[in-house]
Amino acid sequence: METTCAAGGPRAGTGEPALRRFGLENTALANKVLGGIIAEFKSGKIAKTISNTPFIRDPNDDRPCWNWSLKNRILMVMQGTFDARNIVQWNAVGRSIVPNRSAIYIVRPRIRYGCAKCSPKQKRTVWMSYQKDSRKYVCAKCEFSCEYTKIGETSDAETIKRIRGYGCQPEFRIEDTVGKTLPQYRPKQMPPLSDVAAEWNIAIKYQTDPTCRTMGSYRLEHNDIHLGTENAGIFFHEISHAADNIILQKKGKRLRGGQDAIQEAVAQLSACVLSELYATDSNKEFTFEYLRQYSRHGRNDEVARLALRVLDRTGAVIDLILSTAQKLEKKRPM
């Protein structure tokens, strides 16, 4: 497993000084992180994790994670964020780490570099050492040197590269930083029914909500939807929460805070129907498992009862969303 994450200094570079500084010479932490991926495979959750992992890069999206391997982007999502950077990278965009916040970790190979010119003569690998003062890797025999930022780009005729195990590279989530607001990412195409959200004066923001660690959220107090993925099903879930709240307000009520089982069942069933109607990725299996989480013991019959219990409320939510969409369609010029 490898990463080519952009670095701001030796602490996040490709050489060993970063490993020594953070005490990551052994692979225990790397094994723990990798174990998390295995656990996701065993539980079947990996499909959902991968579906929410960034694959297609927008030209205006300059997050450093795009320079990571896909495996490391999956690890980032598993650890509850869509934007993670090292301290130098956050400082470069005017943000700093909140005190006492812990780093998340991605995995990278521990690489040692040998001098390709001297090793054949000595009949053994002549390792290059990192010189802190000059910030270079230097061969003790011929004094061939290379800057640490360029060492990974050297040819086979110059250096010998050997993977000596794996280590973990610390990064910090955007949720654990404060400072300047980052430019907002905009997808090339907004999800279906986004005009309904606009009609209800609901702002759609493609950035993570610092108050929670989810792929999407509808914030009643701000009347906005935060999305960390372009998966339309997630948007359908959140706009269904908004529609549910509009209906409740007409009755003098409002959505409850937190993860309420009835509210979540209504939103996810609505999202499932909308996904089918708008021919986006079907999420029937995910919907069933989602409802299972909110049933008392997780039995199939309990999931069915929960769905039946919220059927009328779900129907009202879908009707409000689609009727609003139809009205907007009639207003559009032919």
pLDDT in tens, 49-83: 555 555 556 666 778 888 888 788 888 878 878 78
- pLDDT-wise least confident of 30-34, 166-170, 305-309: 30-34
Q: Is the pLDDT at 27 greater than 50, yes or no?
A: no
Percent with pLDDT over 90 in the chain: 23
Q: Which residues contact 313 (CB under 8 A, 6 or more apart)?
A: 244, 247, 262, 266
Q: Is the pLDDT at 235 greater than 80, yes or no?
A: yes
Residue 143, pLDDT score: 82
CA nearest neighbour of 307 among 261, 276, 274: 261
* Distance from C-alpha of 137 to C-alpha of 202, rounded to nearest angstrom: 54
* Distance from C-alpha of 220 to C-alpha of 216, rounded to nearest angstrom: 13
pLDDT tens track for 276-325: 888 666 677 778 888 888 887 778 888 888 888 888 899 899 989 999 99
Residue 57, pLDDT score: 60
Beta-strand pair 224-227/203-205:
parallel
Q: Is the pLDDT at 158 greater than 50, yes or no?
A: yes
The better pLDDT of the pair 202, 47 is held by: 202
Residue 276, pLDDT score: 83
pLDDT tens track for 83-120: 899 999 999 999 999 999 999 998 888 888 889 889 88
Domain boundaries, the chain: 10-175, 184-331
Residue 154, pLDDT score: 82
Q: Model confidence at 43, in pLDDT bands (50, 70, 90)?
A: low
Q: Is the pLDDT at 39 greater than 70, yes or no?
A: no
**What angle (nearest 5°) sits at the alpha carbon of residue 47, between those of residues 41 and 52?**
130
Percent with pLDDT over 70 in the chain: 77
Residue 130, pLDDT score: 85
* Distance from C-alpha of 74 to C-alpha of 90, rounded to nearest angstrom: 21
Residue 71, pLDDT score: 81
Q: Model confidence at 163, in pLDDT bands (50, 70, 90)?
A: confident
Q: Which residues contact 71 (CB under 8 A, 6 or more apart)?
A: 1, 37, 107
The reported pTM is 0.55
CA nearest neighbour of 220 among 199, 203, 196, 195: 203
The better pLDDT of the pair 23, 270 is held by: 270
* Distance from C-alpha of 105 to C-alpha of 191, rounded to nearest angstrom: 32
* Distance from C-alpha of 79 to C-alpha of 213, rounded to nearest angstrom: 9
Residue 18, pLDDT score: 37
* Distance from C-alpha of 215 to C-alpha of 232, rounded to nearest angstrom: 11
Exposure class string for 54-90: b at 16+ Cβ within 10 A, else e: beeeeeebebbbeebbebbbbbbbbbbbbbbbbbebb
